[in-house]
């Protein structure tokens, strides 16, 4: 018995993870342990005036990942500017027209940035009237473009924007899109603000579709605002994480459980410079 106990102690010292199944869920351990990322759109009012200065500001906030390019700057140059500041670009964006007409050009840009993911955040449609026809066109384009991107070593993700929550059969058109796109070619990025704004439940959807979700946009919503299916609202309804109505601890726990690796704070408000540091501090303060 003594020899057995000595063996257990030795194995614990050599392989600490063997002493417990996981630290996840242990009281007092951090909930959010991923690198802090930001969506470049958050700084849309700053990048056009001063790209290096804006990246300096982002670096000073302790941000290690950014989603999106820098407009007219060559992707190779932008990648170097970010790398010089210890920032990587795991994900970048593409619009629906590009995906439909020239996915290879998207792949070329994404690879030049060093990205592994390509996200699309909007499908053109009549505002507030996203239809089954729109959903079917979405599925067709995403499956085809996603295949091209997969063949080039990239993962395509659709960023749902809230208008897809039109009721359909026993669920919504978002359910229909997820269920009818090829998991091999099409994954998803959850913007928790827009999911909630469209009437969805972020935690329930993370649980329902598991690893179909690859990326997460972190943003919180002013309490008590009116919601609809337009996919748009006042940018000032973006508030620091933890001060709005979203269940941030619940969302982050489930996201970690299903293996989300990249989280991007997106703050569209005019107070982004003040609010993003508040959001980062909140993320780091969360404990089980």
Q: What is the pLDDT of residues 125-143, one digit of tens each?
A: 987 799 999 999 999 999 9
pLDDT at 53 over 70: yes
DSSP state letters, 149-208: HHHTT-EEEEE--SGGG-EETTEEHHHHHHHHS-TTTEEEEEEHHHHHHTT--HHHHHHH
Total structural domains within the chain: 1
Instruction: Answer yes or no: is 9 within a domain.
Output: no
19 falls within a domain: no
Angle between helix 75-83 and 103-113 (nearest 10): 30
Asked, for residue 212, whether it belongs to a domain, the answer is yes
Residues 279, 223: Cα–Cα separation, whole Å:
16
pLDDT of residue 9: 37
73 located within any domain: yes
Is 36 contained in some domain?
yes
CB atoms within 10 A of CB 224: 7
The arithmetic mean of pLDDT across residues 166-181, rounded, is 97
Question: pLDDT tens for residues 67-77?
Answer: 998 788 999 99
* 283 — pLDDT class (breaks 50, 70, 90): very high
Tens-place pLDDT, residues 108-124: 999 999 999 999 999 99
Q: Is 155 inside a domain boundary?
A: yes
Q: Count CA within 13 A, CB hemisphere, residue 2.
A: 0
Read off the pTM: 0.90
Predicted pLDDT of residue 54 = 97
3-state helix, strand, coil in the chain (%, to 5): 45, 15, 35
Cross-strand bridge partners of residue 155: 117
Domain that holds residue 113: 29-285
Assigned domain for 10 exists: no
Q: What is the pLDDT of residue 72?
A: 86
The CATH number covering residue 63 comes to: 3.20.20.150
Closest CA to 255 of 185, 190, 176: 190
Could you tell me if residue 281 is inside a domain? yes
């Amino acid at each position: 018995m003594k020899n057995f106990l000595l063996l257990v102690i030795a194995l614990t010292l050599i392989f600490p993870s063997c002493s417990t199944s996981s630290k996840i869920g242990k009281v007092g351990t951090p909930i959010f342990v991923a690198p802090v990322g930001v969506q470049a759109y958050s700084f849309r009012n700053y990048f056009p005036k001063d790209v290096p200065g804006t990246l300096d500001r982002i670096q000073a906030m302790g941000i290690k990942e950014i989603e999106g390019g820098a407009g007219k700057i060559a992707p190779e140059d932008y990648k170097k500017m970010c790398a010089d500041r210890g920032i990587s670009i795991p994900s970048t964006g593409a619009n629906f027209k590009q995906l439909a007409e020239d996915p290879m050009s998207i792949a070329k840009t994404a690879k030049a940035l060093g990205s592994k993911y390509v996200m699309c955040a909007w499908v053109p449609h009549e505002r507030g009237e996203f239809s089954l026809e729109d959903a079917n066109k979405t599925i067709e384009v995403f499956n085809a473009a996603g295949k091209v991107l997969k063949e080039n070593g990239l993962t395509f993700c659709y960023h749902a924007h809230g208008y897809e929550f039109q009721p359909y059969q026993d669920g919504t058109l978002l359910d229909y899109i997820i269920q009818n796109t090829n998991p091999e070619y099409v994954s998803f990025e959850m913007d928790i603000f827009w999911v909630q704004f469209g009437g969805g439940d972020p935690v329930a959807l993370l649980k329902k579709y598991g690893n179909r979700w690859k990326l997460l946009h972190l943003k919180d919503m002013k309490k008590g605002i009116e919601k609809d299916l337009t996919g748009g609202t006042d940018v000032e309804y973006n508030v620091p994480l933890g001060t709005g109505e979203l269940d941030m601890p619940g969302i982050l726990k489930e996201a970690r459980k299903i293996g989300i690796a990249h989280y991007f704070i997106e703050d569209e408000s005019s107070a982004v410079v003040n609010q993003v540091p508040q959001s980062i501090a909140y993320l780091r303060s969360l404990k089980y």
